[in-house]
Amino acid sequence: MLVARLLAGDFGQGPKRARLDTQPVLGFSDEDKIGTIQPHDDALVITLRIGGYDVKRVMVDQGSAVEIMYPDLYKGLNLKPDDLTPYNSPLVSFEGRAVTLKGQIQLPIQTGSEVVEVDFIVIDVYSPYTAIVARLWLQTLGAVSSTLQQKV
């Protein structure tokens, strides 16, 4: 009986809860690479439900500070200039050139059961992607992305 009380941490002061010194690990495993061709240096490109539509070719860019919408998606969602609000901050392209902005629009992005309202900056530049989701989207979801495993 005394051994059981000592193992339970009961030293006459009532039951005590064990304290864990280890923190859970948040990450990806080798199993998460199944279905990808390794090694690779591919961008993380996913399909998201944006504004009620399944949108393909959405790039996840942890280095971007803003969410971007390209002309194909703008036209595909049947958005009009009246749907946009002004966006007055300058934006620089990957090539280092200033980009012409059409405006800004807030649309819902559904990821699983989570829905997040996202402010997209609409630009009139060609891109192989339909949109870019950035750090703020990931942080709002509490998500982590991995280009190695090609997963969010």
**Is pLDDT at 107 greater than 50 in this prediction?**
yes
18 located within any domain: no
20 located within any domain: no
Q: Which helix (H) or strand (E) holds 37?
A: none
pLDDT tens digits, one per residue of 114-123: 899 999 999 9
pLDDT of residue 141: 74
CATH code for position 37: 2.40.70.10
The helix/strand/coil state of 110 is strand
Identify the residue with better confidence: 9 or 128. Answer: 128
Amino acid at 25: V
Phi, psi of 42 (to 5 degrees): -70, 150
Tell me the helix, strand and coil percentages in the chain, rounded to 5.
Answer: 15, 30, 50
**Is pLDDT at 146 greater than 50 in this prediction?**
yes
pLDDT of residue 33: 63
Q: What angle do CA 133, 70, 91 make, to 5 degrees?
A: 75
Report how far residue 120's alpha carbon sits from residue 99's, in angstroms, rounded to the nearest whole number.
Answer: 14
**Considering the entire predicted model, what is its pTM?**
0.71
pLDDT tens digits, one per residue of 133-145: 988 887 787 766 6
| Residue 55 domain boundaries | 33-141
Eight-class DSSP state of 44: E
Is the CB of residue 111 less than 8 Å from the CB of residue 83? no
85 located within any domain: yes
The residues, any chain, with a CB within 8 Å of residue 45's CB and separated by 6 or more, are 57, 58, 59, 60, 129
Rg (CA), the chain: 23
Count of structural domains within the chain: 1
Q: What is the pLDDT averaged over residues 39-57?
A: 86
pLDDT tens digits, one per residue of 63-77: 888 999 999 999 999
Amino acid at 118: V
**Is pLDDT at 14 greater than 80 in this prediction?**
no
Report how far residue 126's alpha carbon sits from residue 91's, in angstroms, rounded to the nearest whole number.
Answer: 15
5 located within any domain: no
CA–centroid distance for 58 within its chain: 10
Q: What is the pLDDT averaged over residues 11-16?
A: 48
Quick one: pLDDT band at residue 40, thresholds 50, 70, 90?
Answer: low
8 located within any domain: no
17 located within any domain: no
12 located within any domain: no
pLDDT of residue 13: 52
78 located within any domain: yes
The residues, any chain, with a CB within 8 Å of residue 24's CB and separated by 6 or more, are none
